[in-house]
Amino acid sequence: MALFTKTKQRVIRLIYVLGLSVSALHAQTLTVALQDEPTAIDPHYQSFTPNVQLAATLFDPLIRKNSQSVAVPALAQSWQVEGNIWTFHLRPNVQFSDGSPFTAADVVYSYERVFKIRNSPSSYALYLNQVKSVVAVDEHTVQIETDGPAPVLLANLAMIPILSQRLAQQEGLAELGQAPLDHRKTLAGTGPYQLDHWHKGTELVLTRNPYYWADEPPWSRVIFRPIPDGHKRVEALVTGVVDIIEAPPVADIARLEKMPSIFIQKMPSLRLLYVSLNQGPDLPEGMKNTNGANPLSDQRVRKALSLAIDREALVQTVMQGIAQAAGNLLSYPNFGTSERFALAPLPDLDQARELLKQAGYPRGFTLSLGAPVGRYRNDEQLAQAIAQMWAQIGVEVQVELFTPALFFKQRDQYAFSSYLSGWSAVTGEMSNPLIALTMTPDPALGQGITNWSHYSNPRLDELIRQAMRTLDEDQRAMVLEEAAAEVLTDYGILPILFELSTWAMKQSIRYDGRVDQFTLPQDVYPNH
């Protein structure tokens, strides 16, 4: 589908205004059914898709990613780089939602705050790990010095929303590292909407930001309703309770497509669903019949588990075609991927059994597989299907299912032998999942922030660091391909599939979708 341009959006809005009175247009409310509720409004607390997409509506970064994950100007209207010094020229006359002016000091404060957040489940420091210093040259100029070349700096800065330093100081929170902060007064942003109220578990209501610097969004009021159950989201749409829903269940898509009142939007995504294996020296939780050793620390066992998974069967049966079998951490031909891993590995049960025998587990062993219920499309069914596939090679699996919030808490405490989870490579290049999911964890540097497997590979770490120092794009792509090959052939992580993004909505509106799977109400427009 062709990209929906800003010019086309303005034309549609103009037609819409001509057909309705201004008062009727401004009275409109958009109601969105969310697959998952944010864990916090604080935009620096946790790098978690529901949080990030909400932040993209309430706040602005210096650089924004468009629907195809390409960096475009936001609060910075232009920039240039000389060596390791990046100079950003900020938009003049931008105001926060309380009417206070946006300045370079807010950028400095926001970037410094990221590193002060304590106990973040998934730190935003990942996106600033190459930033050495941030200086306000004047009210509308910021200079960033990087620790060596920083080829993906723009993509990373797109992930850091800007908060008001003045409001933080006014509330006595300027130096506070504890998060999340969910106070409406403190969390003023420069985005198209501002927070009205949040009743957790029920609704999160936004209203237009009267001081927004860009085009006025089409809806005066936005209501987010968290409905984790996919079938209940569909029911809410069909009965008119909501206007648009995220991720309709694959079993319902064919039925919805036949309904004249409903429109379905599909597009590829950057989200990987993967299995992580606890490879620590100690026996993981849920592990049995191993003679005291951890079988997952053996590459042959990890390879056997991968070979037991029929990814294409998962796509066709569990996902009913609304997915793509994964052979890499990012789908080919995104930046840093290679054709070598473009296709998912084929299952081979005989080879898998032989590898287990060679590793000393001819009769297999027992492990636990943790998974969320309702966080990803058909996540529960995927976990159960993978468990059945592992059972075919003699590995007995105890599937442990939790609500998303409890699952992530348990995962972060290494409570599973293995777990099924997801990662959205919002920067659109291989360095993002490699740094987050596979590097040896170092929270201070933003490395391995979502590596809860004890996997550590010094050669992989060095290849990733080399890629992040390489400005030449062809060379950087080659190094990233080598780094991906290192972790994939070591079976340090098992890619399973890439989700396809889908939205269902009333025929009276349209949303063209995004590869990062965000649902941004400012980009939903009337279909008249």
Position 169 scores a pLDDT of 76
Amino acid in position 78: S
Position 68 scores a pLDDT of 82
How many Å apart are CA 261 and CA 36, to the nearest integer?
Answer: 25
How many Å apart are CA 518 and CA 514, to the nearest integer?
Answer: 6
Q: Residue 148: what are its φ and ψ, rounded to 5°?
A: 90, -175
Position 55 scores a pLDDT of 96
Position 255 scores a pLDDT of 94
Q: Which DSSP symbol is given to 239? A: T
For 98, 166, 188, 220, 450, the CA distances from 209, given in Å and listed in that order, are 9, 18, 10, 9, 34
Position 429 scores a pLDDT of 87
- Dig out the tokens for 453 from the structure: 């497997």
Please name the helix (run of DSSP H) or strand (run of DSSP E) that holds residue 274, with its range, or none: strand 262-277
- Dig out the tokens for 72 from the structure: 């475009």
DSSP codes joined into one string, 56-122: HHH---SEEE-TTS-EEESSEEEEEEETTEEEEEEPTT-B-TTSPBP-HHHHHHHHHHHTT-BS-SS
Question: Of 61, 40, 59, which Cα lies nearest the Cα of 50?
Answer: 40
Position 503 scores a pLDDT of 97
Position 122 scores a pLDDT of 85
CA atoms within 13 A on the CB side of 241: 15
Question: Of 76, 67, 70, 55, which Cα lies nearest the Cα of 124?
Answer: 55
**What is the mean pLDDT of each successive set of 10 residues along the chain, which is 528 residues long?**
35 39 58 94 90 96 90 96 96 95 96 87 88 96 94 93 86 60 75 94 96 96 96 97 95 94 91 96 90 94 98 95 94 91 96 98 96 93 98 98 95 96 87 95 88 97 93 92 98 96 96 93 94
Length, in residues, of the chain: 528
pLDDT tens digits along 281-320: 889 988 998 888 999 999 999 999 999 999 999 999 999 8
